Amino acid sequence: MGGLVILLAVLVGVRVYRRIMGDSSPGSSRRARAAGFQSEERQDTRLAAPLPPELRRALAAASRGDWRPAAALMATTRENEDWELRSQYANALGEAAADDDGWLSDWQAAAPDDPDAALVRPHATVTLAWRLRGGGWAKDTGREQFAGFHRVLPRSLEEVARAAELNPGDPTPYVPELWAALGLGYPHARMDRLWDEITDRDPHHCAAHTGALQYWCAKWRGSEELAVAFARRAAAGAPPGSLLTALPLIAWWEHHKDARPADFRSPAVVTLVDAALADAAAARPDHPRLPELRHLLAFFLTKQRRYEAAVEQFRLVDGYVDALPWRYYEHPAAAYCSVREKAVRGAGPFWKI
C-alpha cells in the first residue's frame, strides 16, 4: 500500500534491528548501474512500488480539495468487490486525509451515507493517531505523544462501525481496526472476534493478514509461537496467488533478525522462500501486495546465495524501497542498494548488460 504510514507500528522493532544489524554502506556500483539499476539517490523511500495511475490522479485531485475522483475510484472497488485494491486505495487516501482532511470532510458533508467516504475516514484517523505516537519504544515516547495517540485512536472504532454498517459485506472497514487493536492492546479474545469479522467476509485478505501478523508477534501482543502458528494456518489454507505464503517468511524474519548467514540457508527457510516464489508467480500482476513480497524475496534470495533469482526480483521493484526489510534500516535506500549490489555481483557477468 502506498506510503504505509499505518506501519509506523512496525518501527518499534526497527530500533532493535538497527542495534543488532547496524546499517549498510551507501552507494551502488558501476556494475549495478550498467545492468540498468537505479542509484541510491533515485530510490523512492515513500513507496514499495509506483502507485496506480488512477490512484495518483485521485490523490492529486484531493490535494486540490476535489474529492470526486476519489469517490469514483472507491465506488469502482466496492462495485467490483475488489477488497484488496479497496484496502490499498482507502489506505492511501486515508494517509492523504491525515495530512489535510478538508476534502474528506467536504465529501462526507455532500454524501453523509456514502460507504466509501465512511471507509476512508477510519484509515485517516488511525494513520493520524500513529503519527502522533511515533515509532519509538514506549519508554522513548513522550507524555504528549501518548496523550495525542490515546485521544485520537479510539475515535476510529466508531468510524469503523459506521463504515461497516453502510456496506455490511465489506471486510475493508475492519482492516484499520487491526492497527487500533495493536495500539489499544486488545486482548486475544477481542482480537479473535475482530478477525472473524474480516475472514467471514474475505478469508484470504492479504493486507488484513499482514496487519494481524504484527499483532501476534512477540514485540506486540503475542509471541513467536503464536505468530508462526497464525502464519502457517493462513498460508496452509490459501489459494495460489493470494500471497499469504509470505506470512511464514515474515514471521520467521520478525523473530530472527539476529540470524546467522547459515540460518537463512536452512532447508526450512529455503522451503518458505520457494513457496513464496511460487505464490508470487501465481498472483495477478496488479496485486497491491506483490511488490512488497518481491522486496522480501530479493532479500532472502540474496541471503541464500540464489543471486540470479534475487536479481530478477530486484529488477521488478527497483526504484522503490518502502518495504520489508529495508524500512527496518536507518537508511533504507542504502540498505537496499547494498544487498542488491551483492546479488548483482553474485549473479555474474550476464547482469552487466
From the number of C-beta atoms within 10 Å of its C-beta (0-12, 13-18, 19+), residue 350 rates as exposed
Mean pLDDT value of segment 339-344 = 96
pLDDT of residue 140: 67
Distance in angstroms (rounded) separating the CA atoms of residues 351 and 353: 5
Is the bond preceding 187 in cis, omega lying within 30 degrees of 0? Answer: no
To the question of pTM greater than 0.85 for the whole model, the response is yes
Q: Which of 267, 213, 199 is nearest to 245 (CA)?
A: 213
Q: How many CA atoms lie within 13 A of 275 on its CB side?
A: 20
- Residue 132, pLDDT above cutoff 50: yes
pLDDT of residue 171: 98
**pLDDT tier, 22 (very low <50, low <70, confident <90, very high otherwise):** very low
- Residue 288, pLDDT above cutoff 60: yes
pLDDT of residue 46: 94
Mean pLDDT value of segment 220-233 = 97
- Residue 350, pLDDT above cutoff 70: no
Tell me, what DSSP letter sits at residue 306? -
Q: What's the chain's length in residues? A: 353
pLDDT of residue 138: 66
- Residue 119, pLDDT above cutoff 80: yes
Mean pLDDT value of segment 205-230 = 97
pLDDT of residue 137: 66
pLDDT of residue 348: 83
Choice among 143-147, 197-201, 345-349 with the minimum mean pLDDT: 143-147
- Residue 4, pLDDT above cutoff 90: no
pLDDT of residue 134: 75
Mean pLDDT value of segment 226-234 = 98
Instruction: Characterize 298-333 residue by residue with b for buried, 16 or more Cβ atoms within 10 angstroms of its Cβ, and e for exposed.
Output: bbbbbbbebbebbbbbbeebbebbbbbbbbbbebbb
Mean pLDDT value of segment 317-330 = 95
- Residue 5, pLDDT above cutoff 50: no
Mean pLDDT, the chain, integer: 90
**pLDDT tier, 142 (very low <50, low <70, confident <90, very high otherwise):** confident
**pLDDT tier, 9 (very low <50, low <70, confident <90, very high otherwise):** low
Mean pLDDT value of segment 268-296 = 98
- Residue 20, pLDDT above cutoff 80: no
- Residue 214, pLDDT above cutoff 80: yes
CA-based angle 136:142:144, to the nearest 5?
125
